[in-house]
Structure 1
Amino acid sequence: MSKGKILQNIWNDLPEERKQRIKALTEELETEYLNLQELRKAAGLTQAEISRSLQMPQSNVSRLERESDMLLSTLRNYIHAMGGNLTISVEFPNKPPIQLNLLSDIVSS
C-alpha cells in the first residue's frame, strides 16, 4: 500500500470533530505564512499590474515582495493596488482583539 493511501486511511478514520480542528489550524497557518508574492498570485495579479497601479518600476515591486520589513504605508499601498484594504488588530491575553486605526488613514480622511 502506498504512503498516500495509508495517510488517506488514517484521515478517513479520524473523528469528524478532529478533522475540522486540523482543517481550521491548517487554514490559520496558511494565512499566517502568506507573503506578498503569494498574496498577489492568489489575487490573480502580476507584478506588472501591481507596478502600473503603484506607478513604480516592476523591479521595485519585486524588491517589495522580498522585503521582510517595510513601512505600513508601503504595505497599505501595495494591498490597495491589489484591490484590498489593510487592517491591523492588536490582541492581548484574555481580551477581545482591538482594531487599530492607522494614523495615515485618519490624516487622509
Structure 2
Amino acid sequence: MAGRTSFSTLRNRMSQEAQERARVKSEALEGEMALAGVRKAMQLSQEELAAILNINQASVAKMEKRTDMYIGTLRRFIQAMGGELDIVARFPDRQIRIDQFSAPGAEVVGR
C-alpha cells in the first residue's frame, strides 16, 4: 500500500477526545439516514433494489430523492431491503406505535 495509510492507523493518531467525538457522530449518523444511506448501509445497489421491487433503477433513484411518499411505498422499499417499517408518535411522556398502517394493536413503546 505505497502512499496509503489505513484508517485504523489514522484513527490511532487522533487524540482520545477526537476519537470520542468521531464515535459519537458516527453513532448519531447510524441512527438517522436518508433512504439512499439505508440502502448503501445494507450494501445494495440501486439496480439490485430495483430488481427486488420489480421496478427500474431510475425509479429507485427518484424514490430516494423524494421528501414525501405513501406509507405503503416506503414500507415496500424498507421490506425489500430486509427491514420493517414502524410508525411511532413521540409525546413528552410516551411513545405510541401507530398500528393503522400495519398489524392491529397499538402499543406503548416507552414512557
Q: Same fold (TM over 0.5)?
A: yes
TM-score under structure 1 normalisation?
Answer: 0.69
Check if 1:8 corresponds to 2:14.
yes
- Report how far residue 10 of structure 1 moved: 6.2
1:72-107 C-alpha deviation (Å, 9 max, x unpaired): 1111000000011001211111x121111143x349
Percent identity among equivalent residues?
34
Q: Which has the higher helix share?
A: 1
Find the aligned partners of 1:67 and 1:37 in 2 and give their Cα distance: 11
- Report how far residue 8 of structure 1 moved: 3.5
Find the aligned partners of 1:102 and 1:45 in 2 and give their Cα distance: 30
Find the aligned partners of 1:73 and 1:24 in 2 and give their Cα distance: 33
Task: Give SS of 1:97's match.
Answer: strand
Q: Which has the higher strand share?
A: 2
Check if 1:27 corresponds to 2:33.
no
Structure 2 equivalent of residue 100 of structure 1: 98
Find the aligned partners of 1:97 and 1:41 in 2 and give their Cα distance: 29
**Large movers: runs of 4+ above 3 Å:** 7-10, 21-26
- Report how far residue 58 of structure 1 moved: 1.1
Q: Could you say if the C-alpha distance between residues 98 and 84 of structure 1 is closer, same or farther in structure 2, counting changes exceeding 3 Å?
A: same
TM-score under structure 2 normalisation?
Answer: 0.68
Tell me which of the two structures has the higher relative contact order, counting C-alpha pairs closer than 8 angstroms and 6 or more residues apart: 1
Count of residue pairs brought into register by the alignment: 94
Aligned CA-pair RMSD: 2.9
User: Counterpart amino acid of 2:49?
Assistant: I
User: Counterpart amino acid of 2:96?
Assistant: I
Structure 2 equivalent of residue 52 of structure 1: 51
